[in-house]
Amino acid sequence: MSAKTEFLKTVRIFCDLTDGEIRGLLDLLHPLELKKEEILFEQGDPGGELFVVESGAIGISVTLDDGKNLEIARFSKGDFFGEMSIFEEEARSATCCARSESRLLSMKDSDFLRLIDSNPSSAAKVMTRMLEATRQRLEDTGGFLSDMVQWGEEARRRAITDSLTGLYNRRHLEEALEEYFMKARDGSRPLSVVMLDLDHFRRINETYSEKAGDQVLQAAARIYRRFLRPTDVAARYGGDEFTFILPDTDVQTARSLMEDIRRAIEEADLLAEVLAGSESRTGDSVLPKVTTSQGLAGFPEHASTPRTLREAADGALYRAKEMGRNRVVVAPG
| Domain harbouring 279, CATH code | 3.30.70.270
Judge contact between 251 and 298, C-beta under 8 A. yes
What is the tens place of the pLDDT at every residue in 181-238?
A: 999 999 999 999 999 999 999 999 999 999 999 999 999 999 999 999 988 999 999 8
In a domain, 209, yes or no: yes
What is the tens place of the pLDDT at every residue in 245-260?
A: 999 999 999 999 999 9
Range of the domain at 105: 3-157
> Which pLDDT score is estimated for 274?
86
Co-location of 176 and 147 in the same domain: no
Query: Exposed, middle or buried, 301 (CB in 10 Å: 0-12/13-18/19+)?
Result: middle
Q: Is 80 exceeded by the pLDDT of residue 1? A: no
Co-location of 87 and 146 in the same domain: yes
Whole-number mean pLDDT of the chain?
A: 87
In a domain, 9, yes or no: yes
Domain limit, last residue, from 131, 157, 183: 157
What is the tens place of the pLDDT at every residue in 49-63?
A: 889 999 999 998 887
> Which pLDDT score is estimated for 11?
92
Regarding beta strands 233-238 and 241-247, do their DSSP bridges make them parallel or antiparallel, or are they unpaired?
A: antiparallel
Judge contact between 291 and 266, C-beta under 8 A. yes
Co-location of 184 and 287 in the same domain: yes
For residue 148, name the pLDDT band (cuts at 50, 70, 90): very low
For the entire predicted model, the pTM comes to 0.56
Co-location of 123 and 178 in the same domain: no
> Which pLDDT score is estimated for 257?
97
Quote the CA–CA distance of 224 and 138 in Å, as a whole number: 44
> Which pLDDT score is estimated for 277?
57
In a domain, 44, yes or no: yes
Co-location of 60 and 19 in the same domain: yes
What is the tens place of the pLDDT at every residue in 257-299?
A: 999 999 999 999 898 888 885 655 554 556 788 999 999 999 9
> Which pLDDT score is estimated for 87?
67
Quote the CA–CA distance of 288 and 41 in Å, as a whole number: 64
Co-location of 21 and 152 in the same domain: yes
> Which pLDDT score is estimated for 89?
63
Q: Which helix (H) or strand (E) holds 89?
A: none
In a domain, 287, yes or no: yes
Judge contact between 193 and 177, C-beta under 8 A. yes
Quote the CA–CA distance of 115 and 125 in Å, as a whole number: 11
Instruction: CATH number of the domain at 127, please.
Output: 2.60.120.10
In a domain, 200, yes or no: yes
Nearest alpha carbon to residue 331 among 299, 305, 285, 307: 299
In a domain, 104, yes or no: yes
Domain limit, last residue, from 98, 127, 157: 157
Domain limit, last residue, from 157, 187, 204: 157
- Mean pLDDT, to the nearest integer, of 159-169? 88
In a domain, 220, yes or no: yes
Co-location of 152 and 232 in the same domain: no
Quote the CA–CA distance of 293 and 303 in Å, as a whole number: 21
In a domain, 165, yes or no: no
Q: Which helix (H) or strand (E) holds 210?
A: helix 210-227
Quote the CA–CA distance of 97 and 37 in Å, as a whole number: 6
Co-location of 152 and 177 in the same domain: no
Quote the CA–CA distance of 7 and 103 in Å, as a whole number: 13
Quote the CA–CA distance of 163 and 236 in Å, as a whole number: 10
Work out the angle between the directed axes of helices 120-160 and 109-118 (0-180°, nearest 10): 150
Comparison of pLDDT for 244 and 65, the residue scoring more: 244
DSSP of 129-150, one letter per residue?
A: HHHHHHHHHHHHHHHHHHHHHH
> Which pLDDT score is estimated for 279?
52
What burial letters (b/e) apply to 173-182, b meaning 16+ CB within 10 Å?
Answer: bbebbeebbe
As a whole-number percent, the residues of the chain with pLDDT over 70 amount to: 87
Co-location of 184 and 323 in the same domain: yes
**Domain total for the chain?**
2
Q: Is 60 exceeded by the pLDDT of residue 141? A: no
Co-location of 110 and 200 in the same domain: no
Q: Is 70 exceeded by the pLDDT of residue 24? A: yes
Co-location of 134 and 35 in the same domain: yes
Co-location of 212 and 71 in the same domain: no
> Which pLDDT score is estimated for 241?
96
Q: Is 60 exceeded by the pLDDT of residue 12? A: yes
Q: Is 80 exceeded by the pLDDT of residue 142? A: no
| Segment of 66-75, 133-142, 295-304 carrying the highest mean pLDDT | 295-304
In single-letter form, the type of residue at position 290 comes to V
> Which pLDDT score is estimated for 144?
47
